[in-house]
Amino acid sequence: MKVKYVNPFLKASMNLFKDYLGLSLESGKPHLLANPQDLGEVSGIIGLAGETKGAVVLSFSRETAIKMVSRFEKREYYALGSEVIDGVGELINIIAGNAKQDLLDFRIEISLPGVITGGNYKIHWPEGIPVVSIPFGSELGPFTVNVSLLDMDKD
């Protein structure tokens, strides 16, 4: 998967978490996720379709998810309830929707977000496409943005 397909998600994540939520954010080096199921306890997922196919997953620990949504809504949450799950869905929706503006090689439709929780779930990533994981560190805890997108061009 080309860097130019990962960068829009990195940029959209920086925009959301650093510029908008005001977190002091550090992004680590994007790397292939050896085990595509190696994700946090709370994951927001969006499918990408249209002129390519793929998925993007925002993954947190339970504690970080609660703190992130609290910061996003400016309202304190203390448990992983329906509001926090809804908020995680909105965060991944913003990342995917914003990334579209820089994915210039193809027109993409994004699915409605889904959020899965727990310690033993399995994400059905698009078959045969590697998953690139972008790690982030923040004062609210670490998280990852994971992207799997089919290369359509022949550059």
Interface contacts to other proteins, rule CB under 8 A: 15-16, 20, 69, 72-75, 82-83, 86-87, 89-90, 93-98, 100-101, 103, 107-108, 110, 112
| Minimum distance, C-beta of residue 143 to other proteins, in the bound complex (Å) | 16
Q: Which helix (H) or strand (E) holds 79?
A: none
For other proteins, give the closer residue by CB, 20 or 121: 20
For other proteins, give the closer residue by CB, 16 or 129: 16
Closest listed residue to residue 112, CA positions, set 96, 99, 98, 125:
96
For other proteins, give the closer residue by CB, 85 or 131: 85
Backbone angles phi, psi at 116, to 5 degrees: -120, 145
For other proteins, give the closer residue by CB, 8 or 36: 8
| Minimum distance, C-beta of residue 34 to other proteins, in the bound complex (Å) | 30
CA–CA distance, 80 with 7 (Å, rounded to integer): 30
| Minimum distance, C-beta of residue 99 to other proteins, in the bound complex (Å) | 8
CA–CA distance, 63 with 42 (Å, rounded to integer): 9
CA–CA distance, 75 with 71 (Å, rounded to integer): 7
Place of tokens 């998967």: 1
For other proteins, give the closer residue by CB, 53 or 130: 53
Question: How is residue 142 written in tokens?
Answer: 């670490």
| Minimum distance, C-beta of residue 32 to other proteins, in the bound complex (Å) | 27
| Minimum distance, C-beta of residue 38 to other proteins, in the bound complex (Å) | 26
Place of tokens 């977190």: 23
